[in-house]
Amino acid sequence: MAESESDRIFELQAEVDQMKEALASHAVVDQAIGMVVALARVPPDQGWEVLKDVSQHTNIKLRNVAELILIWGRNGDIPPDVLAELEDALDRYGPTQVPGSPGIPDAPEQ
């Protein structure tokens, strides 16, 4: 039996919606990787590993970790457990710790 046109349209719309969601999620993750790369002075592949580690150790979806990091970049707020895991991940992957962390002086203004 042939699939009706309305069923096919519904399936295609659902697929388009999924693709839009995936594209938006990818953009958020890429921006967060860029922020980690810029702040921690690590290469992009290590920025990706940092995000994955934070996600795995906090049991928060990677996209949500990325959103938290972007919010932190905008207003300085980040949950303490996420910040602690971010610092731990940077200790494993990066040459520096998170700027502005307690005991870590901010980079000098230029």
pLDDT band at 10 (very low <50, low <70, confident <90, very high): confident
pLDDT single digits (tens) 34-74: 999 988 888 889 999 999 999 999 999 999 999 999 999 89
* 24 falls within a domain: no
The model's pTM = 0.68
Given its phi and psi angles, is residue 45 left (phi above 0), alpha (psi -120 to 50 degrees) or beta? Answer: alpha
* 36 falls within a domain: no
- State the DSSP code for 57: H
* 34 falls within a domain: no
* 61 falls within a domain: yes
Domain of residue 62: give its range: 41-98
Nearest residue to 93 via CA among 55, 44, 31, 56:
44
Q: How many domains does the chain have?
A: 1
* 94 falls within a domain: yes
